[in-house]
Chain A
Amino acid sequence: MFRFAFYRLLQAIPVLFIVISLTFMLVHSAPGGPFSADKAVPPEVIKALEAQYNLDQPLWQQYVSYVGDVLQGDFGPSFKYPGRDVTELIAAGLPATAELALYAMLVALVIGVSAGVAAAMRPNTAQDYIPMSAAMIGICMPSFLLGPLLVLIFGIHLEWLPVSGWGDIPGDKILPAITLGTGYAAYIARLSRGGMLEVLSQDYIRTARAKGLSEPVVVAKHALRGGLIPVIAFLGPAFAGLLGGSFVVETVFQIPGLGRFYVQAAFNRDYTMILGTTVFFSTLIIIFNLLSDMLAIWLNPKLRQQTQGASL
């Protein structure tokens, strides 16, 4: 297993290198720059600023020095927040975003898996159609619509829950988590329904029933593990997506998270900030994909033994 993880991490190096190079080229080819503003700034000031951040050097030199810095774990200073490092800013935004992503994932898993499993147990009945139609709506509904809608209903009309903030008032984390998690819950519901339907038609499920096991044991013990493999494979990309895709939710609910920094950085042409967050998110995506692959292997005895054999 360790050897497997090691090789996968080795493969990640060229991937990250390509991500850095492509992003570097893209941000620098976008029109405008970090110091172009509405107000007319004297050219000498801009020159001085560009010199300060090495932006007057040829592009390839900037690239080489940037890659060099990243290799040492230094994402450079932010252009828009003078005096602050990109690393520092990421560290400031990450806790809120990570917490939000974690809650959203819990919401997605609990709702998604139970809806999917319930649907698969009685396919082509109301127990299947209702959750699956709801899932379809959940996939179609963008979070910038769902968020305000939930705020309107639960925050303003019913006055059950706070409408914004993060960690200030009890319960203010519920609506953001639901808003962010719903879309993923819908995907997970569809994946687990498909996986469970496939497994429930297997011969070994018939064997389990023929042994006189009760339906809950058949489903929980014999079917769930195989049926949720597609969901586990989806967890890695989903978690990374939750971390990187929380911008809308963070804006709607005024959460001081990473997503907002990320999008603001793009508007501001804050080159180092864009690059830094992109590399950071890419690393997360690679790590979470690796983790979900390892989980899938660990759950399958045959694969588990093969990879264990490899590490001997």
Chain B
Amino acid sequence: MALLEVEGLKVYFHTRNGVVKAVDNVSFSVDSGETLAIVGESGSGKSVTCYSLLDLLPQPPAKIEGGSALFDGEDLLQCDRSSMRHYRANEIAVIFQDPMTSLNPFISIGEQLIEPLIYNPDSDRRKSREDARARAIKLLDEVGIIDPQSRFDSYPHEFSGGMRQRVMIAMALINEPRLLICDEPTTALDVTIQAQILELIKKLQQSHDIAVIFISHDLGVVAGIADKILVMCEGTIRETGDTDTIFYNSKNDYTKKLLAAIPEGAKISPNSKKQDRPLVEVTDLKTYFRHGGKATQHGGIIKAVDGVSLEIQRGEILGLVGESGSGKSTLGRSILQLAPTTAGLVNFDGQPLTGLNAKQMVPWRRKMQMIFQDPYASLNPRMTVYQTLAEPLLYHGLANSKTIEQQIRQLMDDVGLAHGQMRKYPHEFSGGQRQRIAIGRAIATKPELIIADEPVSALDVTIQAQILDLILNLVERHNLTMLFISHDLSVVRCISDRVMVMNKGVIIEQGNTEALWKNPQQAYTQQLLKAIPIADPKLERSRLSGL
């Protein structure tokens, strides 16, 4: 008998609009030392499945309608409050997706770490504050927090995303659980940090001999670490099998679709419209921020962009890669004069933009647009699709009351939205559809330049593939020039003609995409490229063991 055996699990959400079968008849098992990956898109029920095991779902609206989850022979779905506390504290631990929101900002990380020990429901496992502190510091060290003694009393905001996720992992392991549930633990992280975290989870699993359930929307991420894979869609199991079977011999169409969506390999067709005439020329651009608003603090100035020179040729897609905090987004905004530049020149079509005031910028704004990362935050929730798309057209005088409806229909066709959705509000759309609206808004004024700042990183792989297709298609059809900013190197590779690598405010390497991929010169670039997970279990395993 396996450590955890889930049989016929059904979780329904009873909402005002009827019953949603979030999890419908799902069965699986996982044993000590084994890693089960549950893969599926947003809304497939993968997280709900795992949260229902620990009674972490808000009830109502969620309700467990049936099934059993035997952990070591005991049914988790039937147990009472106090035994559930025992399982949560001592047997099953969870690492949540977003390390930025999953730690309490008001409590020091040390205190959060030792809580499972000092408030342990089982009195024989409860520890004194001093013992708990010693154990926590040892674990912080084990997960790679430097100087754990002094970091113990730090607060979450003093840690980066990757460091917070390490703290989360230490917290999950502090009571030596027998089952670890990882809910997209690396989705919010940079590729190099992702590689480190995956490696760490793998290492800890082996040394502590625990069972792991690893939830992800990306098959590529789980290739190297999973023993078994469960593919879920719309609350049901589509396919289940060992990792190699799923990757090499899948019979299921949905699995094949997921596999096909993984961004991999080179760009298929280079841009036909690319000219050797620069549309944008940036010379020694600097954008500095004062730290915390006052120049005197902490010695004060953040050099987000520190002397960048570049050219974007007409008709090309220029990829800009870098990790969080590298200054890539600030560079994009500085080119559009959306961030105040400190020094340097930006020329657009031969005309200098730096030094223009807001009013003088207006005619240029029509020619350059931006697509933002988070389609949930970048659309005004009180404006319909119609209003969102009409605003730039009317503002720049590109439409009148007679033609506007026709133009908006055309835009919706361009980005693949049905005309019937014109009067709907953003919350009625999925993430992918919202990003289509945002793209429609960006191309409405028929701009020459689009700066796309991580346009697909908030999306599932399958949706990501669709949006990338849409962007390539639009660039080609509308003669667009694009600066494509992303931390995801595989995505950048399959969309850009040329790539620049940014680190700490400067461009450290640039070149044609494939040339750079094959022969990276800088150590930093090599390290980035090495960290990309390969969506091939055999290659990935050998890559991981070589790290």
Contacts known (A204-B102, A206-B96, A225-B106); A212 close to B89, Cβ less than 8 A: yes
Chain B residues contacting A213 (CB-CB under 8 Å) are 85, 89, 115-116, 119
Residue from B88, B120, B155, B168 within 8 A of A302 (CB atoms) = B155
A214 to B116 Cα, complex, angstroms: 10
Interface string of B90-109 (1 = CB under 8 A from A): 10011010100111111110
Q: Considering only CB atoms, which chain B residue lies closest to A221 in the complex?
A: B107
Q: B54 interface residue, CB < 8 Å from A? A: yes
Closest CB in chain A relative to B98 CB, distance in Å = 6
In the complex the two chains form, is B56's CB within 8 Å of A309's CB? no
User: Do residues B105 and A209 form an inter-chain contact, with CB atoms below 8 A?
Assistant: no
Given contacts A206-B56, A309-B297, A312-B297, whether A211 and B105 have CB atoms under 8 Å apart is: no
> Across the two chains, which residue of chain A brings its CB closest to B91?
A212
Within 8 A of B (CB), among A261-312: 299-302, 305-306, 309-310, 312
Answer whether residue A226 sits at the interface, using C-beta atoms and an 8 A cutoff: yes
Within 8 A of A (CB), among B93-145: 93-94, 96, 98, 101-108, 115-116, 119-121
Interface of chain A residues 201 through 234 with chain B (CB within 8 A): 202-204, 206-214, 217, 221-222, 225-226
Establish whether residues A209 and B88, one from each chain, have CB atoms under 8 Å apart when the complex forms. yes
The answer to whether A207 touches B104, judged by C-beta atoms less than 8 angstroms apart, is yes
Given contacts A203-B98, A299-B106, A300-B106, whether A210 and B298 have CB atoms under 8 Å apart is no
Q: Does B157 contact A (CB under 8 A)?
A: yes
Closest to B155 in A: A301
**Residue among B102, B104, B155 facing the most chain A CB atoms (10 A cut-off):** B104
Distance from B210 Cβ to chain A, minimum over Cβ atoms (Å): 16
Please state if A301 and B157 are interface contacts (CB–CB under 8 Å): yes
Q: Chain A nearest CB: distance from B295 CB in Å?
A: 12
CB contacts (< 8 Å) of B4 on chain A: these are none
Closest A residue, CB atoms, query B82: A214
B296 CB to nearest A CB, Å: 8
Which residues from B are CB-within-8-Å of A207?
94, 96, 102-104, 168, 171
Q: Is there contact, CB below 8 Å, between A309 and B292?
A: yes
Q: A206-B96, A310-B297, A312-B297 are in contact. Are A211 and B116 (CB under 8 A)?
A: yes
Q: Of all chain A residues, which has the CB nearest B60?
A: A124
A217 to B119, CA, bound (A): 9
- Residues of B near A204 (CB, < 8 A) are 101-105
Residues on A with C-beta less than 8 A from B121 are: 212, 214
How near does chain B come to A212, taking the closest CB pair, in angstroms?
Answer: 3
**Distance of A222 Cα from B96 Cα, bound (Å):** 17
Q: Check B294 for interface membership: any CB of A closer than 8 A.
A: yes
Q: Which residue of B lies closest to A212 (CB)?
A: B89
Residues in A neighbouring B101, C-beta threshold 8 A: 202-204
B89 touching A211 by the CB < 8 A rule?
yes
Q: From B116, which residue of chain A is reached at the shortest CB distance?
A: A211
Shortest beta-carbon distance from B180 to chain A in Å: 12
A210 to B157, alpha carbons, bound, how many Å? 21
User: Is the Cβ of B105 less than 8 Å from the Cβ of A210?
Assistant: no
Please give, as numbers and ranges, the residues of chain B lying within 8 Å of A210 by CB-CB distance: 54, 56, 88, 93-94, 96
The verdict on B86 contacting chain A, using a C-beta distance below 8 Å, is yes
Chain A hits for B116, CB < 8 A: 211-213
- Interface size, A (range): 20 to 34
CA of A225 to CA of B155 in the docked complex: distance in angstroms? 15
B294: A residues at CB distance < 8 A:
310
Q: Which of A64-123 contact B (CB under 8 A)?
A: none
Question: Which residues of A have CB within 8 Å of B94?
Answer: 207, 210
Hey, which chain A residues are within 8 Å of B102, CB to CB? 203-204, 206-207
> Assuming A210-B88, A214-B119, A309-B297, is B56 touching A203 (CB within 8 A)?
no
Most A CB atoms within 10 A — which of B85, B86, B158, B298?
Answer: B85
A211 to B117, CA, bound (A): 10
**B49-88 at interface with A (beta carbon < 8 Å):** 54, 56, 85-88
Are B105 and A302 interface neighbours, CB within 8 A? yes
Judging by beta carbons under 8 Å apart, are B171 and A301 in contact?
A: no
Query: In the complex, what's the smallest C-beta–C-beta distance from A232 to chain B, in angstroms?
Result: 13
Across-interface contacts of B168 in A (CB, < 8 A): 207
On chain B, the residues within 8 Å of A299 by CB distance are 106
Within 8 A of A (CB), among B151-195: 155, 157-158, 168, 171
| Distance to closest chain B CB from A299 (angstroms) | 7
B89 to A209, Cβ gap below 8 A? no
Asked if B88 contacts A309 (CB within 8 A), the reply is no
Give the distance in Å from the alpha carbon of A206 to the alpha carbon of B157 in the complex.
Answer: 19
How far apart sit A222 and B298, CA to CA, in the bound complex (Å)? 31
A213 closest partner in B (C-beta) = B119
**A29 vs B108: C-alpha distance when bound (angstroms):** 58
- Contacting pair B104 A214 (CB below 8 A): no
Residues from 225 to 265 in A contacting B, C-beta threshold 8 Å: 225-226
Binary interface encoding of chain A residues 137-154 relative to chain B, with 1 for a CB under 8 A from any of its CBs, else 0: 000000000000000000
Among A176-206, those with CB < 8 Å from B are 202-204, 206
Contact B106 A226 (CB under 8 A): yes
Kindly provide the distance from the CB of A311 to the nearest chain B CB, expressed in whole angstroms. 10
With A203-B96, A214-B85 as contacts: A208 and B106 at CB distance below 8 Å:
no
Contacts of B56 in A (CB 8 A): 206, 209-210
A204 nearest CB neighbor, chain B only? B104
Min Cβ gap A28→B in Å is 43
* Bound: A208/B93 CA distance, A: 11
Query: In whole Å, how far is A39's beta carbon from the nearest beta carbon of chain B?
Result: 64
Q: Which residue on chain B has the smallest CB distance to residue A200?
A: B58
Give B333 Cβ to nearest chain A Cβ, in Å.
24
- Which of A203, A212, A226, A300 interacts with B90 by CB under 8 Å? A212
Of B54, B106, B168, chain A has the most CB atoms within 10 Å of the CB of B106
Contacts of A212 in B (CB 8 A): 85-90, 116, 119-121
Bound CA span A244–B113, Å: 46
Residues of chain B with a CB closer than 8 A to A211's CB: 88-89, 115-116, 171
Which of B86, B94, B96, B102 has the most chain A CB atoms closer than 10 A to its own CB? B102
In the complex, chain A residues whose CB is within 8 Å of the CB of B93: 210
A240 to B337, CA, bound (A): 46
In the assembled complex, how far is the CB of residue A233 from the closest CB belonging to chain B, in whole angstroms?
16
CB proximity of B73 to chain A, nearest CB, Å: 20
Chain A residues closer than 8 Å to B107, beta-carbon distance: 221-222
- Across the interface, name the chain A residue whose C-beta is closest to B99: A203
B86 — which chain A residues lie within 8 A by C-beta?
A: 212
User: What distance in Å separates the Cβ of A250 from its nearest Cβ neighbour in chain B?
Assistant: 39
Q: Enumerate the 3 nearest inter-chain pairs by beta-carbon distance, A residue then B residue, closest first.
A: A212-B89, A212-B88, A301-B155
Given contacts A221-B107, A225-B106, A302-B105, 5 further A-B contacts (CB under 8 A): A202-B101, A204-B105, A208-B104, A212-B120, A305-B158
Which residues on A are within 8 Å of B, measured CB to CB? 202-204, 206-214, 217, 221-222, 225-226, 299-302, 305-306, 309-310, 312
A-contacting residues of B (Cβ < 8 Å)? 54, 56, 85-90, 93-94, 96, 98, 101-108, 115-116, 119-121, 155, 157-158, 168, 171, 292, 294, 297-298
19 cross-chain CB contacts under 8 A:
A203-B96, A203-B101, A203-B102, A206-B56, A207-B94, A207-B103, A212-B119, A212-B120, A213-B119, A214-B119, A217-B115, A222-B107, A225-B106, A226-B106, A299-B106, A301-B105, A301-B155, A302-B105, A310-B294
